[in-house]
Homo-oligomer: A and B are copies of this chain.
Amino acid sequence: MTPAPTSTPTDVFALAAELVGVASESHHETEIADLVEVRLRATAPGLVVTRIGDNVVARTESGHERRIVLGGHLDTVPANGNATPRVEGDTLHGLGSADMKGGIAVLLALAEHAADARFDVSLVFYEAEEVAEEFNGLRTLFRDRPELVAGDLAILLEPTGGWVEAGCQGTLHVRAEFDGTRAHSARPWMGENAIHRAADVLSRLAAHEARPVEEQLVAVDGLEFRESLQVVRIEGGIANNVVPDSCAIVVNRRFAPRWSIEEAREQTEVLLAGADRITVLNASPAAPPNLTNPLVAEFIGTLDLAVRPKLGWTDVARFAAHGIPALNFGSGDPEIAHTEGELVTREAVEGCHAVLAQFLGIGPSVP
């Protein structure tokens, strides 16, 4: 039996399959956090490992001028008949394979050599990304231990299909309410129908979304962000013989990083003109692509990576809000994340690992 040399590369694809086998639906990340912590302590002895709740942070303290933060969430959405990993040749099927056990595997493999990187490196494994903002582990870390997540560039291993997805759009939910006056529906003219009153605004919103695609694009740093505004809920009426006195809609607007939350809110309110009350339910800022930032430019340029805007909101905006340029780069197709058909390929996981290793100076050049 030949002893394994320490330089034998970790099989990140096999590791991803192992991680998919560890259930970690949001709020149930303890087992996978334990696994990550134990593995880091065993395979990356040069790193300082900190456990806070089910968040695990492993950091080098090599005294480099710049620090790269690499992050990934440990949780998955609920299983959808795909809880058990299934490897077919070089394809890994199963819950979290793309979002984002593949990325967690890449981070664990990078950890083994992070002490040799040309930057200081912080590896951040965190809980509860797939659920309400209040539970988000990265939010907890920024609030309680910001020094653990500070750095000069953050890369999140969200599934991007090997693209760099730069920045992200902001998201804003508002409720618009329309009032009316109840009356018997046999004499509706004695009242005022709140649902009928909402019709104009609904038509305006539907027409706004039906505009040509080019009118929905907003360019930032040369990237075209496609904005959107959707009515995601509507409710009105109390009884089948009563003219309704209230109708409420919830609108979700996704806005390019050209706009602040306040600007996005104002633009949305213009489209909702006619509503009696508009209430902001929640708002998360957009994150700029920061393509002119030297570290971002180096990451993209040296490795000649393809870049596109991130349309969904991700935790890159949390880094951006703390002044840290951030981007998404990971394995797996974002379109199939959260679907029962979720999968990731060996090529994707190994490719993601190779790019990051080269950027950190701990791997061979990517061809």
Contact = CB atoms under 8 A, between A and B. Distances in A.
B228 A186 contact: yes
Interface residues of A, number: 51
Contact of A193 (B190, B231, B250): B231
Nearest to A197: B206
Interface stretch (A49-57, A240-248, A287-295, A318-326): A240-248
Interface string A191-222: 00101111110110110011001000000000
A241 B247 contact: no
Contact of A232 (B209, B213, B230, B237): B237
A265 interface: no
A196 B205 contact: yes
A5 B101 CA distance: 98
A60 interface: no
A35 to B, nearest CB: 29
Given A203-B202, A205-B199, A185 B230 contact: yes
Nearest to A242: B232
A195 B231 contact: yes
A236 interface: yes
Contacts of A210: 196
A185 B228 contact: yes
A185 B249 CA distance: 15
A232 B205 contact: no
Contacts of A254: 185-186
Most-contacted residue by chain B among A190, A240, A241 (CB, 10 A): A240
A259 interface: no
16 contacts: A185-B228, A185-B232, A186-B228, A187-B228, A196-B206, A196-B209, A199-B206, A202-B203, A232-B240, A232-B244, A234-B234, A234-B235, A234-B247, A235-B236, A240-B281, A241-B252
Closest 7 CB pairs of A and B: A233-B237, A186-B312, A196-B206, A199-B202, A199-B206, A195-B231, A185-B252
Given A195-B202, A235-B237, 4 more contacts: A188-B209, A195-B234, A196-B205, A234-B234
